[in-house]
Structure 1
Amino acid sequence: MERRQTPEILNYRNENGHGWSFYINDGVLRRVSTTPEDDMEIIRNVQKLELRDDDVIIAAYSKCGTHWLWEIVTMLRAGNSEYHKKKKEIAMLGMPKLERADELPSPRVLNSHLHFCHLPEKLVEKRIKTIFIMRNPKDVSVSYYHHVSGLKQDAGFEGTYSEYLDLFLEGKVSGGGYVDYVKDWRQVKQDNPDLPILTLFYENLKKDPVKNIKTVADFIGESVTNELCEQIAEACSFKKMKAADTEVKEAFGNSSDIWKESHKGMYRKGEVGDWKNWITVAQDERFDDVIDRKFEAKGIVFTYE
């Protein structure tokens, strides 16, 4: 039997000890939560997942609207604007102990923050419909900071936003660099022209939800009325989704094991342009140098307000 080599642990904590340890899996930076071996086993299980012809996969970098889009697609599949009683984590690929994808009835709406190389191997062969959603990186960085600063244990972050931003711009956060993630998916689309991929922008979905919900419905092959799209848009407004998260959704696991006592949960603001309350002029210039110009060079122009 071939003996697997133990991956090198990369310590990317800053001088104040804030940050995380990582290892590299297929060229992708992966945060070490327990051991690299455990994480590699999780990835292998995802890659071996048996896909069904009517599956839909939502692919997104963290804090780009995965919850929002999952609710929308789930409602479109159900043909109504009622919330699914379960949280999207039951269908999230690569989430240890919480994922229940194998047990879900068809049609499934799967979701993931994983890079393409770590998703089920049959995705292209089966031509699984995939929805890729992007959000402007400045709002992503702020939202991601608040997310990790609310987490307990090794996943959490105790430093300031400025400290977190340094790591974010260097790609030393869970999920790796945002530019690399988007670049990866654009390459997938280019290399696999027969794979049905719909690309959405968070800001467009926010500005005109009904139009974008209809676009999603057409892509996944659901015949819908304008009235249903309006009902889904209303049910999936940030305020109503935040309320449903506590009033309708069944809890998974013990939230006190995940979130700090002072943290208010997964939903914060969901706004476009909140980054202006956090990012200084100097930091904004760094964004332009490190991230924005790379996106513009690839023809990707984000909406920042």
Structure 2
Amino acid sequence: MADFKPRYTPGEVKEEEIVRIPDMKGNVKEVMEVEGMIVPVQAIKSGHIPDMRENVKKIRDMKCRDDDIFLCAYMRSGTHWVWEITNMLTTGKLEYLTRPKETAMMEFNYPEDFDKIPSRRTLNTHLPLRLLPKEVKEKKLKVIFVQRNPKDVVVSSYYFLQKSKMMPFQGTFEEFLMVFSTLGVMVNWFDYTLEAEEALKDKEIDMHLIYYEELKKNPVPAIKSLSEFLGTDCDDEYIAKVAEMCSFKGMKKANEDVKDIGDFKFEKALMQGHYRKGEIGDWKNMMTVAQSEQFDEVFSDRMKNSSFKFAFSK
């Protein structure tokens, strides 16, 4: 990443803050713990994104606008997709935004960087819901939570992170599956998902749940439900056009032709690889029977008290 000028002051990391995790080949990953998350030391030191240690505090105390929307999802769960849909609903324009989702991503910016975004802002994050701004609860701001079956999430994440300079993963899929099932990527998927379910149950957050698979199979009713949650005045004809424009094919083409990645060129390969397949059940092309059964055991144990229902195939 030496070819790109840091956007922020690189963070200093003390030796005692570093946790070294060996992989199956004897390579060592340097990470650190931040608010219960496992953050690569490189992400702190690079200066390409804000120092997470400082930023989580700023995010918590962030001043929000009364009409702000927060889009939350575990990585590779459909965040780009729903972000584009939401912007079309709130702006009333059948246009892809030229700026990428990362310009409105809380991990990639300090809160003051969002001041230039016109209302109605849709800010997005992969952070656990407990780290959202305090005003989300106080002002009863709209929160969209996107879910995708974890087997497809792990496969998509594996391919995605192979291209990353910030959070690279160069091991085998077997190694990544083990990491995903235990530590997770920044945060464990099971911990993240169960925490979100508790937030849904206690109703302290005004939250709307979207399943990736339902949005894929039946986009028009799913988008209509989201429009009603957001209070946007969109008729059925408009919603059908949004669904068409935000198909996988349309989104992939827009990502290649429309988006100006600007300050995020340090992750150019990663950002250009956002759209790989987008299929339901692609995990079957990657996981062995043994790996699938092993994951099922973990899933059954961790999610035994959950009411979430996931579609693992078409």
* TM-score normalised to structure 1 length: 0.89
Counterpart among 148, 157, 164 of residue 135 in structure 1 = 148
Identical counterparts, % of pairs: 36
Taking a change above 3 Å as real, the CA distance of residues 260 and 198 of structure 1, as seen in their structure-2 partners, is closer
For 1:103-148, what per-residue CA distance to the aligned partner results, in whole angstroms no more than 9, with x for missing partners?
A: 2111101110011232212110011110101100000000000110
Q: Give secondary structure in 2 for the equivalent of 1:111.
A: strand
* CA distance in structure 1 between the aligned counterparts of 2:163 and 2:84, rounded to whole angstroms: 23
Contact in 1 for aligned 2:59/2:132 (Cα 8 Å):
yes
Q: Give secondary structure in 1 for the equivalent of 2:312.
A: coil
Match of 2:229 in 1: 219
* CA distance in structure 2 between the aligned counterparts of 1:267 and 1:99, rounded to whole angstroms: 29
* CA distance in structure 2 between the aligned counterparts of 1:123 and 1:97, rounded to whole angstroms: 17
Match of 1:124 in 2: 137
Please say if 1:185 is aligned against 2:196: yes
Please say if 1:59 is aligned against 2:72: yes
Name the aligned partner's letter for residue 168 of structure 2.
G
Q: Give secondary structure in 1 for the equivalent of 2:22.
A: coil
Taking a change above 3 Å as real, the CA distance of residues 230 and 119 of structure 1, as seen in their structure-2 partners, is same
For 1:213-261, what per-residue CA distance to the aligned partner results, in whole angstroms no more than 9, with x for missing partners?
A: 0000000001211111110001000111111012111222253x32559
Q: Give secondary structure in 1 for the equivalent of 2:262.
A: coil
For 1:185-235, what per-residue CA distance to the aligned partner results, in whole angstroms no more than 9, with x for missing partners?
A: 1122333x2421111110000000000000000000012111111100010
Match of 1:23 in 2: 32
Matched residue count: 296
> How far did 1:302 drift?
0.8
Please say if 1:108 is aligned against 2:121: yes
Taking a change above 3 Å as real, the CA distance of residues 199 and 254 of structure 1, as seen in their structure-2 partners, is closer
Please say if 1:169 is aligned against 2:181: yes
Runs of 5+ in structure 1 lacking a partner?
none
Please say if 1:197 is aligned against 2:210: no
Contact in 1 for aligned 2:190/2:302 (Cα 8 Å):
yes
* CA distance in structure 1 between the aligned counterparts of 2:153 and 2:19, rounded to whole angstroms: 24
* CA distance in structure 1 between the aligned counterparts of 2:225 and 2:292, rounded to whole angstroms: 33
> How far did 1:19 drift?
6.8
Contact in 2 for aligned 1:31/1:174 (Cα 8 Å):
no
* TM-score normalised to structure 2 length: 0.87
